[in-house]
Amino acid sequence: MNRPNINIRKATINDIRLIAYAVGNAIGEAVMPVFCGTDWMNTIAEVASLETSQYSYRNALIAEVEGSPAGVIVAYDGARLEELRSETMRIIRKYKPDFTVSEDETEPGEYYIDTLCVLPQYRKMGIATKLIAAIHEKALAEGHAQLGLIVDFDNPTAERLYTNLGFHRIGTRIFAGHKMWHLVNAQCIIRNS
């Protein structure tokens, strides 16, 4: 089978709806109204339009296949979580004033992969691997030696992708009420499959 031509580029302000879709896909579209209200897509798009939020287009890379958007990865320095989350919460609280997050999904010392989403029609083409490799390069360029992420206990397929790329479990986290594995790639080496 021929692999498609996959191009990875920095996201722009024009990609905010794609980023919002990716965040909804990662967290779960059924859960998003609990966090952001019924118009969650527009709320997260607004968050993505900010330059200093968790889901900022400035923290995202876009995969394209033949010029069409195919996937998104959002990642940032874990030491900046509080700063980035404050901007995210400022927007979300306009729609859900009482919303709080008590768990930290990342920490200083890791470049955190917050969101990874490949559009359904582009899955199983190696796009997730390419996006993670591109974030690996970005992390190294910014002086980070470790990638980190969390994955739901109930998502062994995603965990298998990450372990095949050199990630391993170092503990657990609770995020949005779900038990998650905390995985890292301490050598910041991504094995291409």
Taking only the tens place, the pLDDT of each residue in 154-193 is: 889 999 999 999 999 999 998 877 789 999 996 544 544 4
- Identify the pLDDT of residue 193: 41
According to DSSP, the residues that pair with 151 across neighbouring strands are 181
Between 31 and 11, the more confident residue is 11
Mean pLDDT value across the chain: 89
Query: Domain coordinates of the chain in residue numbers?
Result: 6-185
- Identify the pLDDT of residue 192: 45
According to CATH, the topology of domain 6-185 is Aminopeptidase (3.40.630)
Between 184 and 31, the more confident residue is 184
From first CA to last CA, the distance across the chain in angstroms is 15
Q: Residue 122 contacts by C-beta under 8 Å, 6 or more apart in sequence?
A: 63, 65, 70, 71
- Identify the pLDDT of residue 187: 59
User: Lowest-pLDDT range, 35-44, 50-59, 183-192?
Assistant: 183-192
According to DSSP, the residues that pair with 116 across neighbouring strands are 73
Max Cα distance, the chain (Å): 51
Confidence tier at 19 by pLDDT (50, 70, 90): very high
Q: Collapsing DSSP states into helix, strand and coil, what is residue 57? A: helix
